[in-house]
Amino acid sequence: MNLTIFKCTLKRYWKLLLLFVAVLCMYLAIIISLIEPDDMAKVQGLFGTMEDFMGAFSIDIAAMTSPLNYTASTFFSVLVMAFTMVFYVILSVGLIARQVEDTSLSCTLSAPVKRSTLVLTCGLFLIFSMAVLFLGILGCGLGMLGRYGAFDAMAYGNLVGVTFCLCTAVAMLSFFLSVAFCGSRLGAGLAVGVPIGLLFLQMAAGAGGDRTRWLSYLTPFGYLDSVGIVTGEVSSLGLYLVFGAAVLALLGASVAVFQRKRLPI
Amino acid sequence: MIRLEHVTLRYPGGKGISDISFSVKEGRVTGYLGPNGAGKTTTIRCLMGFMKPDGGSCTIRGMDCFREGTAIKRFLGYIPGEIAFPKGMSCREYLNYQCDLRGVKDTSRMRELMERFELPGKGTMKQFSKGMKQKVGIVAAFLHDPEVLILDEPTSGLDPLMQNEFIRLILEEKKRGKTILLSSHMFEEVERTCDDVVIIREGQIAARADTEELTSSRRKGYVVRTPELARLKAFGFPVGEETEESCVVYVRGSETDAFFKQLAAITVLDLDTKTQTLEDIFLQYYETGEKSHESDDF
């Protein structure tokens, strides 16, 4: 990793990162503040009026039996996937593909910097940024849920961890596509379009009931059972391993592809 | 020092470069000229390791430009044809970034060059004009005192004063024994700085020659006004600019007698002289693709 490139990238994106941390934390805080822990049925009733709509967002109203379950069901659904997606597609396109397109990458690559170091540094920056986002979500959630009394903080931490791994894996996919197709029109298009496509599959799986539920197997987002993770019904070890391996594999693939790439800079 | 041997690179659309071979010896400045789309930038991209050629080899100091590009860039300075900088940086931030990437701790040369080229340290480069950005590019290329320089249209956008300053810098570096490959459309710049010239056209080398040799082999131009232009052109001498009634005929010293004897056979309304500049020589290749001087590799 090259610290100079990392610092330069951080300087370019720190405002965007802070903005998204603030927006996500604000959104989480607002969602959690709707809770009346003594009367969760009231909360269920509030969401029950839009049951079909909630399905598209993978929100399980029946699971809202406690503040933690409610948070897992509402925020850790399509909502967190969509919000973080906006952030990481901007980043994954801007880190390499945009710099190839406007030829500014020649400034860095005309210095004695290996291509592998450059891509590794940008990839690690993406992972670091996602970690900062989810640390914000972790801190905000712990603080807000703590106001309602004791709750299973480990379970919440575990949920944040799995969601971080999932979203980072999809972010890495976006990064890989932008690197693999940089210099062509496909680069930015695939980097943005594929994650959105995967998200739409998840939304379609939820919106169509039993008829379309099978679609969730076609997208990594379908494997996040947020309520199951906090209640302990779903083992998260396998998810950590799979998503973690995906992150590493896609980062490695990005490095391998970029080393051979023709760069029109 | 810089060597290309049978380098070929084809783009998906079919254009590119084909069987390019030339070298730049240590301590020499070589001009690399050609019309737009000839393949100059493609050649430079191969030398910079941005693209791997389909065939042939590009080496600098014996090191392969693609596989060992990182090692080469420790002693290489580069000015790209299209200057573009990472967003949001000021001039000083960008130059410090370049120093950090190269491990340059002593910034005195950077400051000296900034002063020489009248560069302000403050202000984001978004507000800079093309000429200002070009000056930043020049400082960035020279700040680590590289031994080899690859410069793609380095004076593009510069005002005449800064162009002169840049030419002075090149001549100083040449005296210090630096090796420079200079791609340019500015004939005066090439004439004043280059020892050798390589001309590329439609992806292939069209000519290469010693600049001094080219200068000494210049022809004298005669502007002949005659109603018998077709007969004049049939003499077989190279013809330059042409109008309805006149054209410029280029004649070597040894051919003067033969030319005037043939001229006596047609009606001549007016006769004037014009010395052929290197620009006139180069423009022949830009327009017609004729091969003229071909000497051994430099």
B102 interaction partners in chain A (CB closer than 8 Å): 111-112
- The yes-or-no verdict on residue A120 having pLDDT over 60 is yes
Residue finishing a domain among B214, B233, B267 = B214
Is B86 in contact with A113 (Cβ distance < 8 A)?
no
- What is the model's pLDDT at position B295? 39
Are B97 and A104 an interchain contact pair (Cβ–Cβ within 8 Å)?
A: no
**Contact: A103, B70; criterion CB under 8 Å:** no
Per CB-CB distance under 8 Å, the chain A contacts of B51 are: 262-264
Q: Side chain identity at A227, as an amino acid letter?
A: V
pLDDT of residue B292: 42
Based on the structure, what is the number of domains in chain B? 2
Q: Are residues B146 and B229 in the same domain?
A: no
pLDDT band with cut points at 50, 70 and 90 for residue B115:
very high
Task: Give contacts of B86 with chain A, Cβ < 8 Å.
Answer: 8, 12, 99, 104, 107-108
Instruction: For residues B15 and B104, state if they share a domain.
Output: yes
Q: How confident is the model at residue B294 (pLDDT cuts 50, 70, 90)?
A: very low
Domain identity same for B101 and B191: yes
| pLDDT at residue B298, as a whole number | 38
* pLDDT value, residue B179: 97
B238 and B210 together in one domain: no
In one letter, which amino acid is B70? T
CATH of the domain at B41: 3.40.50.300
Q: Per residue in B177-205, pLDDT tens?
A: 999 999 987 777 888 899 999 999 889 99
Asked if pLDDT for residue A53 goes beyond 80, the answer is no
Minimum distance, in Å, between the CA of residue A173 and any CA atom of chain B: 24
Closest of A45, A50, A44 to residue A73, by C-alpha? A44
What's the pLDDT score for residue B227?
93
Give how far the C-alpha of residue A213 lies from the chain's centroid of Cα atoms, to the nearest Å. Answer: 22
Split at pLDDT 50, 70, 90, the class of A211 is confident
Contacts of B74 in chain A (CB under 8 A): 112
As a whole number of angstroms, the distance between CA B235 and CA B258 comes to 10
> Residue A95 carries which DSSP code?
I
Residues of B in contact with A11 (CB under 8 A): 88
Percent of chain B with pLDDT over 90: 62
Asked if A260's CB is within 8 angstroms of B80's CB, the reply is no
- Please tell me the distance from the alpha carbon of residue B277 to that of residue B266, in angstroms, as a whole number: 27
**What chain B residue is nearest to A8 in terms of C-alpha separation?**
B97
Chain B residues with CB under 8 Å of a chain A CB are 45, 48-52, 70-71, 73-74, 76, 78, 80, 82, 84-89, 94, 97-98, 100-102, 140
Which ranges constitute the DSSP H helices of A115-236?
A: 115-146, 153-180, 186-207, 226-231
- Give residue A209's domain range: 3-30+76-260
pLDDT at A27: 93
Beta-carbon neighbour count of residue B123 at 10 Å? Answer: 12
**Residue B239 and residue B113 in one domain:** no
Report for A112-121, B185-194, B252-261: range of highest mean pLDDT: A112-121
Do residues B181 and B207 both lie within one domain? yes
In whole angstroms, give the CA distance from residue A217 to residue A221: 9
Structural domain includes residue A36: no
Question: If you count them, how many residues does chain A have?
Answer: 265
Q: Confirm if B153 and B122 have CB atoms less than 8 A apart.
A: no
Dmax (CA) for chain B in angstroms is: 73
**Confidence grade of residue A107 (pLDDT, cut at 50, 70, 90):** very high
Q: How far A177 CA sits from the closest chain B CA (Å)?
A: 19
The verdict on B103 and B38 lying in the same domain is yes
Q: Are residues B174 and B263 in the same domain?
A: no
CB contact under 8 A, B51 and A260: no
Query: Which of B70, B75, B105 to mutate to test binding with chain A, by most A CBs within 10 Å of its CB?
Result: B70
Q: Are residues B199 and B223 in the same domain?
A: no
Closest in B70, B89, B100 to A114, CB measured: B70
Q: Given an 8 Å threshold on Cβ–Cβ distance, is B86 in contact with A8?
A: yes
Last residue of a domain, one of B214, B243, B265: B214
The pLDDT score that the predictor gives to residue B87 is 85
Judged against a pLDDT cut of 50, whether residue A106 lies above it is answered with yes
Chain B residues whose beta carbon lies within 8 Å of the beta carbon of residue A262: 50-52
Asked if B11 and B60 sit in the same domain, the reply is yes
- Name the minimum distance, in Å, from the CA of A132 to any CA of chain B: 22
In a domain, B289, yes or no: no
Q: Is the pLDDT of residue B82 over 80?
A: yes
Tokens 């309602």 sit on residue: A148
pLDDT of A86 > 80? The answer is yes
* Chain A: closest CA distance from residue B296 (Å): 31
Confidence of residue B290 (pLDDT cuts 50, 70, 90): very low
Q: Which domain holds residue B140?
A: 2-214
Q: Write out the H or E segment, with its range, that includes residue A9.
A: helix A3-33
Residue A51 included in any domain: no
Distance of CA A92 to the CA centre of its chain: 12
Q: Do A104 and B85 touch (CB under 8 A)?
A: yes
Q: Is residue B281 part of a domain?
A: no
The verdict on a CB contact (< 8 Å) between A112 and B70 is yes
| pLDDT for the residue numbered B192 | 87
pLDDT, residue B216, reads 63
Q: Do B94 and B230 lie in a common domain?
A: no
B214, B229, B263: which is the final residue of a domain? B214
Q: Contacts by A247-251 with C-beta closer than 8 Å and gap 24+?
A: A247/A127, A247/A165, A247/A168, A247/A169, A247/A172, A250/A169, A250/A172, A250/A173, A250/A175, A250/A176, A251/A120, A251/A123, A251/A124, A251/A127, A251/A172, A251/A175, A251/A176
A243, A213, A262: which is closest to A81 by C-alpha?
A243
Q: Answer yes or no: do B48 and A108 touch at CB < 8 A.
A: no
Amino acid A48 reads G
The pLDDT-based confidence of B287 (bands split at 50, 70, 90) is: low
| d(C-alpha B294, C-alpha A210), whole Å | 78
Distance linking the first and last C-alpha atoms of chain B = 11
Report the number of distinct structural domains present in chain A: 1
A72 CB contacts (<8 Å, ≥6 apart)? Answer: A63, A156, A159, A226, A227, A229, A230
Choice among A28-37, A75-84, A175-184, A231-240 with the minimum mean pLDDT: A28-37
Give strand pairing partners of B151.
B79, B182
Contact B84 A104 (CB under 8 A): yes
Q: Which residue of B has its CA nearest to A101?
A: B84
Stretch B82-89: mean pLDDT? 89
Per the domain annotation, does B111 fall within a domain? yes
Residue of A nearest to B95 (CA): A107
Helix (H, G, I), strand (E, B) or coil at A59: coil
**ipTM > 0.90, yes or no:** no
Q: In the 3-class helix/strand/coil scheme, how is chain B assigned residue by residue? A: CEEEEEEEEECCCCCEEEEEEEEECCCCEEEEECCCCCCHHHHHHHHCCCCCCCEEEEEECCEECCCCHHHHCCCEEEECCCCCCCCCCEHHHHHHHHHHHHCCCCCHHHHHHHHHCCCCCCCEHHHCCHHHHHHHHHHHHHCCCCCEEEEECCCCCCCHHHHHHHHHHHHHHHHCCCEEEEECCCHHHHHHHCCEEEEEECCEEEEEEEHHHHHHCCCEEEEEECCCHHHHHCCCCCEEEECCCEEEEEECHHHHHHHHHHHCCCCCCEEEEEECCHHHHHHHHHHCCCCCCECCCC
Edge-to-edge order in the sheet of strand B246-251 = B239-242, B246-251, B220-225, B270-275
Q: Read off the tokens for A194.
A: 């594929």
Chain A residue at shortest CA distance from B137: A107
Q: Distance, in angstroms, between B101 CA and closest chain A CA? A: 6
pLDDT at A45 over 90: no
What pLDDT does residue B255 have?
85
User: Which positions in chain B touch A125 (Cβ < 8 Å)?
Assistant: none
Q: How confident is the model at residue B296 (pLDDT cuts 50, 70, 90)?
A: very low
What gap in Å lies between CA B222 and CA B240, rounded to an integer?
10
The answer on pLDDT for A135 being more than 80 is: yes
Is A56 a domain residue? no
pLDDT interval class at B209 (50, 70, 90): confident
Are A108 and B101 inside 8 Å of each other by CB? Answer: yes
CA distance A34 to B120: 54
Based on the fold, state whether residues B240 and B130 are members of the same structural domain.
no
Kindly determine whether residue B82 and residue A103, on different chains, have CB atoms separated by under 8 Å.
yes
Distances in whole angstroms, Cα of residue A214 to Cα of each of A170, A207, A210, A242, B162: 20, 12, 8, 20, 67
Q: What is the pLDDT of residue B278?
A: 62
CATH number of the domain encompassing residue B236: 3.30.70.980
